[in-house]
Chain A
Amino acid sequence: MSFSEKFVAVRKGLLEFAVLRAIAGETLYVADLLKRLSGTEFATQEGTLYPLLSRLRRESLVDYEWRESDVGPPRKYYRLTESGKQALSELQGYWNHLTHTLDRIGN
């Protein structure tokens, strides 16, 4: 079992974290977001991302607004809500805690 296979579940679980982080930086529409994640371990596809974003919106962590586009129909631009920002910082804290724990276990 390769390294990358072993961590499929981990990456899957962290995708939400990665998406929240990406959106926290700037408001993005899905194609931007996919581009930003592509080439990373969190590369994903529309089939995964749209359902994920819609759930995050149901949980009031993200919101979107329609913006006109020069080349096509209006696009949804996603951004973090206040509770999204809070959730992200909690996630970040938990992540730090986890890596800290892992660091300590061996020592």
Chain B
Amino acid sequence: MRKVTLVSLGGNTYQLEDGAHEALAAYLDRAARVLAANPDRAEILADLEQAIADKCDSFLGKHKNVILAAEAAQIVREMGPVQGNGSEDAASQTAGPGAPGYASGTEPAGAGTHAELPRRRRLMRLPEEGMMGGVCSGIAAYFDFDVVWVRLAFVLMLFVTGGAWLVVWLAMLIVMPAARTPEQIASARGEALSAREVMDMAKRKSADLGKAAASGLRDAQRNLRETFGSGS
């Protein structure tokens, strides 16, 4: 028995299984974010919602009225990642749909399926934007902060730690790879995960952890039985 969520898509009610709802909501969330600067944002989102509704219809029938999680995942795959402004210069958009591999909506569906893998943002230096090595710019891009605040924090830390922070900065300068090509810069700015996606991931992880813990416990019990229980 699984819980369902009622949603309205394109003016009709749909019942989505747990998991299906999260997947579709996360897709639309991300679309809304990618399209933030698009003047036709509302209209495109409505179009996408309608397209999702149409795809849901194809999964529903007389004796089936719930969209399953696996079906929602398939819908998300079929829809494909949303491109910022629908132009070939999508890579120059800060929303970052131009990250390598991400903007391959034009790939034939057969040749390597581009599943809806969230392109993770990478922590990289942005030397071209930085004052010195781009460490602060990279951190700002990674966390979506204004770089000014990061620089301010670094300067403050320098005073607070009596100069020792310089070592931290030097370490970052060495450890953080520099983003130089457009692709690298795109992945440094990459798609941030929405709060919902973070929650999803945390849920999945904790479920996995729970399973791992349960099986670990079983193993431990078995070991104990085998060690001590065999005699009795």
Interface of A with B (CB < 8 Å)? 4, 8, 11-13, 15-16, 30-31, 38-48, 50-58, 72-73, 76
Across the interface, which residues of A come within 8 angstroms of B48, CB to CB?
46-47, 50
A-B residue pairs in contact (CB < 8 Å), sample of 15: A8-B104, A12-B103, A15-B106, A30-B51, A40-B108, A44-B80, A45-B109, A47-B31, A47-B82, A48-B82, A48-B86, A53-B86, A54-B86, A55-B87, A72-B57
Cβ 8 A contact of A72, one of B54, B86, B107, B108: B54
Contact flags (1/0) for B139-179 with A, using CB distance below 8 Å?
00000000000000000000000000000000000000000
Interface residues on B, range: 35 or more
A-B interface pairs (CB < 8 A), number: 98
B50 within 8 A of A: yes
Is B43 a contact of A54 with CB atoms below 8 Å? yes
Is A73 a contact of B106 with CB atoms below 8 Å? no
Closest residue of chain A to B43 (Cβ to Cβ) is A54
Interface of B with A (CB < 8 Å)? 10-11, 31, 35, 38-40, 43-44, 47-48, 50-51, 54, 57, 78-88, 103-111
Is A43 a contact of B44 with CB atoms below 8 Å? no
Is A48 a contact of B38 with CB atoms below 8 Å? no
Is B106 a contact of A46 with CB atoms below 8 Å? no
For the complex formed, measure the closest distance between the CB of B44 and the CB atoms of chain A, giving whole angstroms.
5
Is A73 a contact of B11 with CB atoms below 8 Å? yes
> How far is it, in angstroms, between the C-alpha of A50 and the C-alpha of B34 when the chains are bound?
13
Instruction: A31-B54, A50-B47 are known; give 20 further A-B pairs, CB within 8 A.
Output: A4-B108, A12-B106, A15-B88, A15-B106, A41-B106, A42-B106, A43-B106, A44-B80, A44-B105, A44-B106, A45-B80, A46-B47, A46-B48, A47-B31, A47-B48, A50-B48, A50-B82, A51-B86, A54-B47, A73-B11
